[in-house]
Amino acid sequence: MQAAVIVFPASNCDRDVAVALTASLGRPPLMVWHQDNEMPKVDLMVLPGGFSYGDYLRCGAMAAHSPIMRAIKAQAAKGVPLLGICNGFQILTEAGLLPGVLMRNADLKFICKDVYLRVETDDSIFTRKYAKDSVVRFPIAHAEGNFFADPESLKRIEGEGQVAFRYATRDGELSARANPNGSLNNIAGVFNASRRILGLMPHPERLAEPLLGGDDGKAMFDGLMEALA
């Protein structure tokens, strides 16, 4: 299996996710520069966290128009899985590959801490190693992670099972207190309709081995290896 990590100007988690992918997949991912026009033959594409283009205009807005995005959209349309983490999630919404938008956090502050997430489904290549309704701990580090969608889109997202993770308490309960950024319905991550694209604000790669303080994120990359091998 071969994965690719897309590198944008001011990406700062590209190496983090490359380490996590290497540990689970047994080989390093290709590091693809944002100005490339073609995507090598890969089994998984990852848009990492960071501050692409310095977050000018809106987070992810400029990166969504990078040359490589044409190739990414073409490969995603063929069913090649695509994962966007934090800024990668913002890019996916700006590119129209996922529904909704990521707005400023409700308290208008940058938030950097660990949060608990409830896994909403195990029926995807990204979540197959997690039990439905289980609780995992991932870090967040963002100022624009407040997920919003218009009422019709939100109804469709919920009705079609496109919510992957929700912010929750350690016991899996949903509450305003457990919601760090004001996201509608405590949504922390969403799929596209086919569940071959996932965007999430928390960082699974930052807790993917015990030396980092936990390994809840490792199951995502292990599950991808098993599903795509």
Can you say whether residue 3 is alpha, beta or left, with left for phi > 0 and alpha for psi between -120 and 50 degrees? beta
Asked if 89 contacts 82 with a C-beta cutoff of 8 angstroms, the reply is no
Asked if 27 contacts 2 with a C-beta cutoff of 8 angstroms, the reply is yes
Nearest Cα residue to 101 out of 65, 150, 167:
150
E strand map for the chain? 3-7, 30-33, 44-47, 82-85, 101-103, 111-119, 135-142, 146-148, 163-168, 187-191, 197-200
Where in the sequence numbering do the catalytic residues fall? 86, 203, 205
Name the residue type at position 172.
Answer: G
